[in-house]
Copies of this chain bind each other. A is one copy, B any other.
Amino acid sequence: MAAHAQGVAVKAPAQPGALPPSDPALADSIVAPLPAIEAHLDAFLAQQPMPETLRAAVRYALLGGGKRLRPLLAWHACAALTGPTIAGTPALDSCGAVELVHAFSLVHDDLPAMDDDDVRRGRPTLHVHAGEAMAVLAGDAMLNLAFGILLSGRGSAPALAMLLARELTTGTAGMISGQVYDTLGGFASGLSEHQRVVMVHQNKTGALLRASCRMGALAGLDALGLLTPAGTPATGQAAAKLEAVTQYADAVGLMFQIVDDVLDITQTAEHAGKKTGKDLDAGKLTYPGVLGLDGSRAEIRRLEAQADKALDTLGPHGSALRQITAYLAVRTR
């Protein structure tokens, strides 16, 4: 525990708010939807026609653990609109879709030509486990399945399915752009280091977290009958709530990645379940590199407050999203 506590990224001992005595964890009420989400994904995957070897590879990458942050955000963004009792196939499809995109991106990012990582979620990466060709193809398949689950016509009306898939493609485009900026550069000229690191993080991580939250919120609005046939919020209050979820997502997305940067230089690989210290090794742009560790921690607190403030619009239904922010600010892996 001492090693963990020492490594906790966010709050230095001198800061107010003492370290928790052990690793923080998400409350049971927050992770309660996970079994249903995983069963939904698993059932969808089982129904898709594909070679069993490919199915096994997708399953390995998809259902082998992980924080499931994106589906939890989608779920609780839906609940932030509807309250915890309404949830349906569009919300579950959204949860599955964002996890498929996240899992695909990890498989491709781990490839030898990319980050060349051998370990992910404490296990061999997919290309180590099943070969590089299968990892390329399984990643491709997962990206395609993410759209497939939204568009399968099982649960969502066409207009909602289209709206959710559009959010997904926007988020995925940002994620890929962020990966290019992070690993290959290609910035417009004249940007400061700080502007560049924000651009990397807003895209690489933020765009898909934003899509996760917005997809959940749209599914929630739809369940409440608050979307027009054209897919826009039907009332001013509905529009304000969608905007609040979006602002929340943008703050949390950036905060999440700054915490990641801090953990990369303060945690052991054994604790994180993946290689650490690699940003530094790779000479990547990071928040600690630009703002220092203390500056990064201050930025994390600022964004946490910003996310909390956005949730005010959502009233008591937003409490689960608030708990997620609090956890993400102090997570240690």
- Which residues from chain A sit less than 8 Å from chain B, CB to CB? 48-54, 104-105, 108, 111-114, 127, 131-137, 139-141, 143-145, 147-148, 151-153, 158-159, 161-163, 165-166, 168-170, 172-174, 176-177, 179-181, 183-188, 229-231
In the complex, which residues of chain B have a beta carbon less than 8 angstroms from the beta carbon of A161? 162
- Contact across chains for A144 and B132 when beta carbons are under 8 A apart: no
In the complex, which residues of chain B have a beta carbon less than 8 angstroms from the beta carbon of A163? 158
CA gap between A145 and B144 in the complex, in Å: 11
In the complex, which residues of chain B have a beta carbon less than 8 angstroms from the beta carbon of A135? 113
In the complex, which residues of chain B have a beta carbon less than 8 angstroms from the beta carbon of A179? 137
- Contact across chains for B180 and A53 when beta carbons are under 8 A apart: yes
Which residue of B145, B158, B168, B177 contacts A173 across the interface (Cβ within 8 Å)?
Answer: B145
Which residue of B49, B127, B131, B140 contacts A108 across the interface (Cβ within 8 Å)?
Answer: B140
Which residue of B52, B111, B151, B166 contacts A136 across the interface (Cβ within 8 Å)?
Answer: B111
In the complex, which residues of chain B have a beta carbon less than 8 angstroms from the beta carbon of A105? 140
Which residue of B52, B133, B169, B231 contacts A144 across the interface (Cβ within 8 Å)?
Answer: B169
In the complex, which residues of chain B have a beta carbon less than 8 angstroms from the beta carbon of A183? 133
A111: nearest chain-B partner, CB-CB:
B136
A176: nearest chain-B partner, CB-CB:
B141
- Contact across chains for A51 and B173 when beta carbons are under 8 A apart: no
- State the Cβ distance, A34 to closest chain B Cβ, in Å: 25
CA gap between A48 and B174 in the complex, in Å: 10
Of listed A108, A113, A145, A152, residue having the most chain B CB within 10 A: A113
- Contact across chains for B165 and A147 when beta carbons are under 8 A apart: yes
In the complex, which residues of chain B have a beta carbon less than 8 angstroms from the beta carbon of A48? 173
- Contact across chains for A176 and B144 when beta carbons are under 8 A apart: yes
A53: nearest chain-B partner, CB-CB:
B186
- Contact across chains for A50 and B180 when beta carbons are under 8 A apart: yes
CA gap between A174 and B158 in the complex, in Å: 22
Of listed A127, A132, A158, residue having the most chain B CB within 10 A: A158
- CB-CB under 8 A for A173 and B133, given A147-B147, A163-B158: no
- State the Cβ distance, A156 to closest chain B Cβ, in Å: 9
- CB-CB under 8 A for A134 and B176, given A140-B143, A143-B140: no
- Contact across chains for A136 and B113 when beta carbons are under 8 A apart: yes
- Contact across chains for B169 and A51 when beta carbons are under 8 A apart: no
- CB-CB under 8 A for A173 and B186, given A159-B158, A181-B51: no
In the complex, which residues of chain B have a beta carbon less than 8 angstroms from the beta carbon of A172? 144
CA gap between A135 and B111 in the complex, in Å: 12
A178: nearest chain-B partner, CB-CB:
B51
- Contact across chains for B185 and A169 when beta carbons are under 8 A apart: no
